[in-house]
Structure 1
Amino acid sequence: MAARFFEGTNHAELYVRYRPATPSTLVQLVCDYIKEKVPGPLRQAVDVGCGSGQGTQLLAPHFERVLGTDVSPAQVAKAEAAPGAVNIAYSVSPAEAIALPSHSCDLVMAVQACHWFDMSTFLPESARVLRPGGALALVGYRLPAPVWQGREREDVRELLAESYVSGLAGWIQQGSVDTYINGYSDSRFTSPLEDHRRDESTFCDLDGTVADMVGYCSTWSGFQNMVADKGQEAGQKFLDDIQNRVLALLGDGATPESSIVIRFRYFVLLSRKPVDTK
């Protein structure tokens, strides 16, 4: 079964506030890949682990039908409450049991989610629902970096990575390291399909402040686990420490209210079902 981390209503609200939305350019990249082998209109896509439905909505213009699924009722409730296209439906279900017929989908997509799935079950289940030529897209993003004074600050991204791995040791799981740090490079993310491609050209820029970037850290499941274990005071201290260290790196009069661009760099692993599959 998929691990359950983003189920509390408060955490779902933090997720909507601070997490990036899937860039439309990435969705177009995926659709162009599918159309290399699938002629005509694209019929159906399923966004597995859809969360609040931000990425699901971007699929709607490209497909006749779109289904978003998530194991979390709180996340699905957020998705259903948001304005959306009429060709989108949502359901509460695990990633490892996609409630669609075999050979019915042109796309199975998972955005910043599959590191919590049982991949040994999810991958063959994805292959089952894909029609010949259909694609599996495993999407994730790295820890963010601020664009400050015209330069993307990799040193701040490295600081966040160190805080994540060391500061939350004992509260994070390997799955989160697999995406934020390793970019799904582990062999368990390799699909049984063909024509594998990896693309890392897409990024999402969010206008915000230093405080907003630190607020994003509160959405980490490891942070939520630490707060549940140690309490709100420990959580606030963790976030304050990150903020102070970020400000020290930025220098030049940076404050929590300083305007920055928060840049999330995406990666996507693409593969497709063989066209001659029966």
Structure 2
Amino acid sequence: MAVRLFEDKEHAAEYLKHRMTPDVVVSDIMGRVKQKMPLPAPLAVDVGCGSGQGTVLLAPYFSQVVGTDVSPAQLENARANQQCANVTYRESPAEDLPLESGTVDLLTSMTAAHWFDWPRFQVEVDRVLKPGGCVALLSYGLDMVLEYGDCSEKLKEICLESYAALNPFRNPVLGRSSLQIYKDMFNSCPYPEKHWHEGLEQRKTMSVNGYIGLVKTFSPFRKYMEQDAQQAEELSNQIRNKLLDAMQVSSAETEVTLVTKYYYWIAWKP
């Protein structure tokens, strides 16, 4: 069964403001794609596109890019921040895409496929891909860390402790590791030509407040907010204060470097 989250307008707005764009991973994926097909190719589809931060990264490589999502609020933000003339958005569940069979050159899902009904989505991927088309599914673990001067190790400890505090609110669909979900998807994909990749690091400069805003977009934090908004807010304040103390600064607008480790798999339809 597919899981629907990130759909209220306030959460969608925060998602657009704080979530990372997977530039490094998309670049790596497209480096592999261009070895198999001439670019620009006709059509890419980004499923579970959210507010479109990743979708637009595909625009230089395709004549047309379509982002799909079940959330009207997410799509409203994506359209309001439209940057590329060749990118459009459609409301649709991942398991029933509004696309003709055999028309898609590349189908991606960026940090969303773990919420899909995998058996049904797998059938839909095969339906819409052209022969020779490819699917690429990417995500990251909840093990991102911060770097700042010579106190990076202490910041890493604070980050990992914070994620551990959110574990009780983790959606059961994710199990203990979303990484394992993607490995299971990869192993069950029937296409003979497929490749697994992990450990791709991406760095992004942001303020401490920006990092706290990012943490607040995570699904376990949102669940905590639903159960006890005051306690959840206290946790976010504790994380902020611990980071500032470790950095020996007073301003939460002080910039740090967020290090995120991505993984993805890619497969070509025969």
Deviation at 1:147, TM superposition (A): 1.8
Task: Give deviations 1:202-253, integer Å, cap 9, x for gaps.
Answer: 433222222221221110112112211213x1121111222234345xx351
Structure 2 CA distance for partners of 1:40 and 1:62, relative to 1, 3 Å: closer
Structure 2 CA distance for partners of 1:254 and 1:56, relative to 1, 3 Å: same
Q: Match for 1:205: what amino acid?
A: R
Taking the aligned partners of 2:156 and 2:186, their CA distance within structure 1 comes to 24
- The corresponding residue for 1:253 is 248
Taking the aligned partners of 2:217 and 2:84, their CA distance within structure 1 comes to 27
Q: Does 1:9 align with 2:24?
A: no
The question of whether the paired residues in 2 share the 8 Å contact of 1:141 and 1:183 is answered with no
Identity across the alignment (%): 33
Query: Normalising by structure 1, what TM-score?
Result: 0.86
Taking the aligned partners of 1:205 and 1:219, their CA distance within structure 2 comes to 19
Deviation at 1:121, TM superposition (A): 1.1
- The corresponding residue for 2:215 is 217
- The corresponding residue for 1:160 is 159
Taking the aligned partners of 1:208 and 1:31, their CA distance within structure 2 comes to 26
Mapping 1:88-237, distance limit 5 Å? 88-143=87-142, 144-149=144-149, 153=152, 156-157=155-156, 159-175=158-174, 178-179=177-178, 182=179, 184-190=181-187, 191-200=189-198, 202-231=200-229, 233-237=230-234
Structure 2 CA distance for partners of 1:118 and 1:259, relative to 1, 3 Å: same
Is 188-197 or 90-99 further displaced after alignment?
188-197
Q: Does 1:263 align with 2:253?
A: no
The question of whether the paired residues in 2 share the 8 Å contact of 1:44 and 1:105 is answered with yes
TM superposition outliers: structure 1 runs of 4+ over 6 Å: none
- Matched residue of 2:258: which SS? strand
**Uncovered stretches (5+) of structure 2, i.e. residues with no partner:** none
Deviation at 1:146, TM superposition (A): 1.1
The alignment of Structure 1 onto Structure 2 pairs a total of residues equal to 267
The CA RMSD over aligned residues, in Å, is 2.4
Task: Give deviations 1:45-93, integer Å, cap 9, x for gaps.
Answer: 1000000011111111101111100010000111111132221111111
Deviation at 1:32, TM superposition (A): 2.6
The question of whether the paired residues in 1 share the 8 Å contact of 2:106 and 2:134 is answered with yes
Structure 2 CA distance for partners of 1:212 and 1:115, relative to 1, 3 Å: same
1:242 corresponds to which of 235, 239, 244: 239
